Amino acid sequence: MTVSPGSPASPGLDAADPAASAGPELLRSVFRRHAAGVAVITAQGARPVGFTATSLTSVAATPPLVSFGVGTGSSSWPVLAEAEHVGVHILGEHQRELAATFARSGADRFGAATGWRPGPHGVPLLEGVLAWMVCRVVARVPAGDHRLVLAEAVAGDPAGTGRPLLYHQGRFNGLRD
C-alpha cells in the first residue's frame, strides 16, 4: 500500500510542512535518533589511514561479508579506493577519545597516542578494541557522495573485553543499565 503525505494513514505529515521535505538535513536529523555501534575502519597505503564509522553492517554469514560507507571527499578515501584489505575495529565505551580522533578532520590518527600494530596483509590494527577483523574488499558501490564498501572477513579476533561504544544524538555514549 502506498501512503500519500497528509492521508489518514500518515498522521502529522503534510506536503506543505517543511519537516516532511527530504534532504541531507532530514537524513542527519533522523539518524541522530538512531543509536549505532562505533567502529574504526583502517587501511594501509603509503601511510596508514582510518576513520570512525557508524555505518558498519553485517551483510552475510556465508561468505562472511560486512559493509560500510565512506565519503569520497574524506582524507581516507584515496587509500580505501585502492586497498585490497581493510581493518574493521569494534570500539569499547572506554575508547571515546579514539573514536573522536578518527572522526576529527586533520587529526594525527596514528600518532603516539594511538596504540596500533601492523596486522595480516599489512592492515593497521588498533589495540584495546572489543573485536577486530581484517577483510578483503570485494566491491565498492557508488552511493551519492559516498561509496558502499563490501568486504569479506579473512582474519580476526572477537576476544576483547568491555562494553560497546555507541553513537547517538551526535555524541559517543556507553550503554546504560
pLDDT for position 14: 53
Identify which of 95, 77, 86, 76 has the alpha carbon closest to the alpha carbon of residue 37. Answer: 95
Q: How far apart are CA 143 and CA 20, in angstroms?
A: 23
One-character DSSP codes across the chain: ----TTSTTSTT--TT-GGG--SHHHHHHHHHTS-EE-EEEEEESSSEEEEEES--EEEETTTTEEEEEEETTSTTHHHHTT-SEEEEEEPBGGGHHHHHHHHSTT--TTSTTS-EEE-GGG-EEETT-SEEEEEEEEEEEEETTEEEEEEEEEEEE----S-BEEEETTEEEE---
Alpha-carbon span 160 to 142, nearest angstrom: 33
Report the sign of the C-alpha dihedral through residues 43, 44, 46, 49, in that order. positive
pLDDT at 33 over 90: no
Mean confidence (pLDDT) of the chain:
89
pLDDT digits (tens, 9 = 90+) for 139-148: 999 999 999 9
pLDDT of residue 80: 97
Buried b (16+ CB within 10 A) or exposed e, 128-165: ebbbbbbbbbeebeeeeebbbbbbbeebbeeeeeeebb
Q: Is the pLDDT of residue 93 over 60?
A: yes
- Mean pLDDT of the region 92-111: 95
> Is the pLDDT at 20 greater than 70, yes or no?
no
Tell me: pLDDT of 152 over 80.
yes
* pTM for the model: 0.85
Write down all domains in the chain, each with its CATH number in brackets: 36-169 (2.30.110.10)
Give percent above pLDDT 90 in the chain: 75
User: Residue 81 — very low, low, confident or very high, per pLDDT cuts 50/70/90?
Assistant: very high
Mean pLDDT on 104-132 = 96
CA neighbor of 121 nearest in space, from 99, 90, 153: 153
